[in-house]
Amino acid sequence: MEEFIKIENVYFSYDESEEGKSFALSGIDLTINRGEFVAVVGHNGCGKSTLAKHLNSLYIPTTGDIFVDGINTKDDDRLFEIRKKVGLVLQNPDNQIVAGIVEEDVAFGCENLGIPSKEIRKRVDNALKAVDMYEYRTHSPDKLSGGQKQRIAIAGIIAMEPECIVLDEPTAMLDPQGREEVMTTITRLNKELGITIVLITHYMEEAVTADRVVMMDGGKVLLSGKPKEVFSKVELLRKHRLNVPQATELIYRLKGCGYDLPGGILNEEECVQALLECMKKRGERSVGIKG
Amino acid sequence: MSVLKAENIKLVYGAGTSFEKTALDDLSFEIEKGEFVGIIGHTGSGKSTLVQLLNGLLKPTEGRIYLNGKDIWEKPKKIRNVRFKVGMVFQYPEYQLFEETVYKDIAFGPKNMGLEEEEIDKRVREAAIFTGLREDQLEASPFELSGGEKRRAAIAGVIAMDPEVLILDEPTAGLDPLGREALLSQIADFHRVRKNTVLLVSHSMEDIARISDRILVMSKGRKVMLDSTKNVFSHGRELESIGLKVPQITKIMMMLKEKGVNVDTSVLTVEKGFNEILNILSQKTKE
Amino acid sequence: MVREITLGQYMPGKSFLHKIDPRTKTVLLIAYIVFIFLCRNFISLLIMSLFSLLVIFMTKISFMKYLKSLRMILFVIILTGFFNIFYGSGEVLWQWQQLKITSGGLINAAFVIVRISMLMMVSSVLTYTTSPTDLTDGLERLMKPLKIFHVKVHEIAMMMTIALRFIPVLLEETDKIMNAQKARGADMESGNLIKRVKSLIPVLIPLFVSAFRRAGDLATAMECRCYNGDKNRTRMKVLHFSIKDLIALLGCLVVFAAVIVGNMYFPAVI
């Protein structure tokens, strides 16, 4: 897989004094590959949001370097190039929408990039269709639901044709329906349009859909691997104030009692299947004993 | 006698205009003193509207609301007094903080109730302890606190009023898993110690399942069910049909039952599910 | 509910007025205001009034809505009319103690009432037929020449756009905060003026804090989308003039000319 973002030994402190700094990021080494869907999880205050804002040069590392498609984020002259490649969607849907009409807000980024008028029109239409909000293009954003607003924010980024979208807890302020809408959209963008996705979240149900899960605490990366691998480490996650899906926890506890069950169970279907198999095996064994 | 009673409530917005909308229709229920009732429903089901009726912020178009047997709108000018007995914590309550110090902000409610200085002080300190705020935090400006601390200060502000009925609208919105657990435990503790009545509006089935005695299920402005937690979640299919999801563990039990395994489908926590499955597995060995 | 106040009350439609460029409408409205005050006799006033009614009719928006806009300034109209009738000069027609109705007073009153009403309604034509975005766009283009005087035209237009966009949001938030404080026993209804103003503090402070927070978030979001003032900035919607604007311009010129003629050939009454 091709490297897209390379984070090398990054330390970051909000404190600008020389002495006694406390670091929000303490030695992060991480690579994001092109086309990947990476979920970054951690409790509030672990540094994941700070990391997200480094990926498009909103913050610059105190020490260490970050390269976006080969460009160092410290390079002031190439700031717009970086922000064109890496879009950032934030938590509050309302506070990202600039214009009073949906299609005008989606056009905002393109207008800033100096793209010709007709081209902007095309991009805006395509972006709105990609997030399934095309029919709302002349509506006013304030009548839309949270999930719809967040999709508009995403469309505004897509119109700039980024290679990667970073989303910092995009569903934290949404209701379950809104969360589903946004997650469906993000997954579709990754699978169908090949856009690299970095999703910052504390919802485990969202992280299970990623290609890779990165777990952070105290400004450090503690775990990185496929969802099945990461979520099987139930105790470690608990220690770092995170939950696992109920299905995962159930299997974990049963395994702890000695039952033969596979690891890495993430959803209901897998869980039920594993349990049925286990029950069948035990039933067969007992038949064997009787017979 | 019930502490809260709703009788044929109907609420219509913009009656007579082209924007007419019936937010609540033919809603009746009773809440007993000391209960912990969860209120669940899809967005737009009317649950937030309902709770605003219960403390007199909104007036029903038709129907009545009784607090301890008395119609709350009997004396419209005295509706403020109802709010001293039915306290309400809104979504993202940290956005209502305004005073110079956390102490003063928590004291806002008790002050409005006209209590004596001594009593106010006692209540503020008790509420602060309950929500885990420290002495030094009381003297700080509310805007210096972290997000989670601000929320606790806002909730303390309502707890300090010591209402008979405490209503919380999505109190865990935006919190991470640990924050959610901590807050819900605090609410459960508060309920146990104070022996008051609590109504909790939430989207999270897991949260509600864990601490409610009864659950009121709403859909499209109407009451669908009001029953014990166990019974409500045993109607998994019906809940799904109105757009709600049962906790994942309950779903797992439901799916096992469909495949012929004899499990209790009203299981709501991993603990109970774990015990159920253990039973089944050990039974199979004995066969 | 506070949310039901819509600013400017844009009413989408396909009338001639809707299709004219916002710049044309703005400039012509200003000219209209000047000319309505230039009328010196009933003939010119009549010409302007008929013209106003024609324009209103052409918007295809119900006349009732225009009358509603008068409702807001009804008090002003009545008061001004009253003072003009009873405190004018000229031939006295009726008198009772200090109050006298003069011919001059009556004429003044008539002119004032007609002027204010027409002004209000024709201004509404602008806001009813032009979306807030088009209005700010039009104003931005009109003000472009002011850049020579170091006036930050683009920034002002951006501020207007953002302000308009956030007004409903802030109104809704005010509602929510008010409810939250009322739930804590705040009394916003009773008491004297001072007490009522004080009771607004628990609403205003959180509102201000929130507005600043939103501004900070929005600025970050704008930076993420490469906002850089109006350096190299293009627009998706480009305003352009069409034949309709020319027709509107010519039509107005004809009417204004008629007003001047009316002023010249008939005696002035005011």
> How high is the pLDDT of residue C8?
59
Burial of C39 per CB tally in 10 Å (0-12, 13-18, 19+): buried
Which chains neighbour B (Cβ–Cβ under 8 Å, 3 or more pairs)?
A: A, C
What is the predicted pLDDT for the residue at C3? 40
Contact B203/A203 with Cβ under 8 angstroms? Answer: no
Q: Which residues have a Cβ under 8 Å from the Cβ of C53 and sit 6 or more positions away?
A: none
CA distances from A237 to A43, A208, A266, B193 (A): 10, 14, 14, 32
Give B82 or C11, the one with higher predicted confidence: B82
Interface contact flag, A285 B285, Cβ < 8 Å: yes
Name the one residue in this structure whose structure tokens are 């009771």: C199
Closest residue to B278, CB basis, from A145, A243, A257: A257
Residue-level pLDDT at A163: 97
pLDDT of residue A141: 93
The answer to whether C187 contacts B84, with C-beta atoms less than 8 Å apart, is: no
Mean pLDDT for A165-172 is 96
End-to-end CA distance of chain A: 54
Whole-number pLDDT of residue A282:
78
- Edge-to-edge strand order for the sheet containing B197-201? B86-89, B165-169, B197-201, B36-41, B214-219, B222-228
Distance CA C22, CA C59 (A): 14
Q: Do C172 and A99 lie within an 8 Å CB cutoff?
A: no
Q: Cα(C197)–Cα(C180) distance, rounded to whole angstroms?
A: 18
Specify the pLDDT at position C1: 36
**pLDDT tens digits, one per residue of B160-215:** 999 999 999 999 998 888 888 889 999 999 999 999 999 999 988 888 888 999 99
By CB atoms closer than 10 A (0-12, 13-18, 19+), residue B155 is: buried
What chain B residue is nearest to A270 in terms of C-alpha separation?
B252
Domains of chain A and CATH, by start = 3-244 (3.40.50.300), 245-291 (no CATH)
How does pLDDT run across B35-52, given as a tens digit for each residue?
A: 999 999 988 889 999 999
B277 and A254 in contact (C-beta within 8 Å)? yes
pLDDT greater than 90 at residue A86: yes
Task: Find the distance separating the first CA and the last CA of chain B, reported in whole Å.
Answer: 52
- Model confidence over C210-246: pLDDT tens digits? 999 999 999 999 999 999 998 899 999 888 899 999 9
Name A65's bridge partners.
A8
User: Residue B158 and residue C179: Cβ atoms within 8 Å?
Assistant: no
Q: Which chains touch A (3 or more CB pairs under 8 A)?
A: B, C
A20–chain C nearest CA distance, Å: 28
Give pLDDT, residue C5: 44
CB pair distance less than 8 Å for C185 and B80: yes
CA dist B277 and A279 (Å) reads 9
d(CA A152, CA A97): 8
Per-residue pLDDT at B242 exceeds 70: yes
User: Does A83 lie at the interface with B, CB-CB under 8 angstroms?
Assistant: no
Residue B106 zone, left/alpha/beta (φ > 0; ψ -120 to 50; rest): alpha
Residue identified by tokens 């508060």 is: B190
| A213-252 CB burial, b ≥16 within 10 A, e <16 | bbbbbebbbbbbeebbebbbbbeebeebbbbbbbbbbbbb
Q: Tell me how far apart the alpha carbons of residues A271 and A229 are, in angstroms, rounded to a whole number.
A: 16
Reported confidence tier of residue A179, pLDDT bands at 50, 70, 90: very high
Judge contact between B208 and B201, C-beta under 8 A.
Answer: no
Q: Tell me which chain A residues have a C-beta less than 8 angstroms from the C-beta of B286.
A: 286
Contacts of C169 in chain A (CB under 8 A): 94, 142
Question: How near does any CA of chain C get to the CA of A212, in Å?
Answer: 25
Instruction: Give yes or no for residue A200 having a pLDDT over 60.
Output: yes
pLDDT at residue C11 tops 90: no
B223 is written with which tokens?
A: 């009451």
**Two tokens at B67?**
């607090």
C214 close to A95: Cβ distance less than 8 angstroms: yes
Q: Please provide the DSSP assignment of B203-244 as one string.
A: S-HHHHHHH-SEEEEEETTEEEEEEEHHHHHH-HHHHHHTT-
Handedness of CA C180, C183, C184, C186 (dihedral sign): positive
pLDDT at A286: 54
Which residues of chain A neighbour B43 with C-beta distances below 8 Å?
Answer: 145, 175, 177-178
Indicate the pairing of strand B222-228 with strand B214-219. Answer: antiparallel
- Given pLDDT bands bounded at 50, 70 and 90, which one contains residue A285? low
Q: Model confidence over C148-175: pLDDT tens digits?
A: 898 899 999 999 999 989 998 999 999 9
Mean pLDDT score of chain B: 90
Averaged pLDDT, B280-286: 74
Chain B CB within 8 Å of residue C187 CB: yes
**pTM across the whole model:** 0.89
Measured distance CA(A144)–CA(C109) in Å, rounded: 48
**Beta strands per DSSP E along chain B:** 4-13, 21-31, 36-41, 62-67, 70-71, 86-89, 165-169, 197-201, 214-219, 222-228
The SS3 of residue B14 is coil
A:C CB pairs within 8 Å? 96
Distances (CA, A) of B71 to A160, A198, B64, B175, C198: 58, 54, 7, 37, 31
Residue B287 has pLDDT above 80, yes or no: no
Encode chain C in three state secondary structure.
CHHHCCCCCCCCCCCHHHHCCHHHHHHHHHHHHHHHHHCCCHHHHHHHHHHHHHHHHHCCCCHHHHHHHHHHCHHHHHHHHHHHHHCCCCCEEEEECCEEEEHHHHHHHHHHHHHHHHHHHHHHHHHHHCCHHHHHHHHHHHHHHHHHHCCCHHHHHHHHHHHHHHHHHHHHHHHHHHHHHHHCCCCCCCCCHHHHHHCCHHHHHHHHHHHHHHHHHHHHHHHHCCCECECCCCCCCCCCCCHHHHHHHHHHHHHHHHHHHHHHHCCCCC
Which residue does chain C place closest to A78, by CA atoms? C226
Q: How many whole angstroms separate alpha carbon A80 and alpha carbon A68?
A: 12
Which chain A residues contact residue C213 at CB under 8 A?
95
Q: Is C211 on the interface with B (CB under 8 A)?
A: no
Residue pair A108/A156 in contact by the 8 Å Cβ criterion: yes
Cα distances (Å, whole numbers) of residue B24 to B199, B281, C172: 18, 47, 21
Chain A closest CA to C232's CA: distance in Å? 5
| Option in A101, A142, A160 nearest C133 (CB) | A101
Chain B residues touching chain A at CB-CB below 8 Å: 42-43, 147-148, 173-179, 203, 206, 243, 245, 247-249, 251-252, 255-256, 259, 261, 270, 273-274, 277-278, 280-281, 284-287
CB contact under 8 A, B161 and C184: yes
Q: Are C205 and B98 in contact (CB < 8 Å)?
A: yes
Confidence of residue C2 (pLDDT cuts 50, 70, 90): very low
**pLDDT, chain A, mean:** 92
CA–CA dist C63, C124 (Å, integer): 11
Query: Strand order of the sheet with strand B21-31?
Result: B21-31, B4-13, B62-67, B70-71
A111 and C223 in contact by Cβ < 8 A?
no
* B94-147 tens-digit pLDDT: 999 999 999 999 999 999 999 999 999 999 999 999 898 998 999 999 999 988
Residue C6 has pLDDT above 60, yes or no: no
Please state, in angstroms and rounded to a whole number, the distance separating the CA atoms of residues A11 and A99: 37
B14 interaction partners in chain C (CB closer than 8 Å): 4
Name chain A contacts of C161, Cβ cutoff 8 Å.
98-100
Closest C-alpha among B245, A274, B251, B206 to residue B263: B251
Cβ-Cβ contacts under 8 Å, A254 against chain B: 274, 277-278, 281
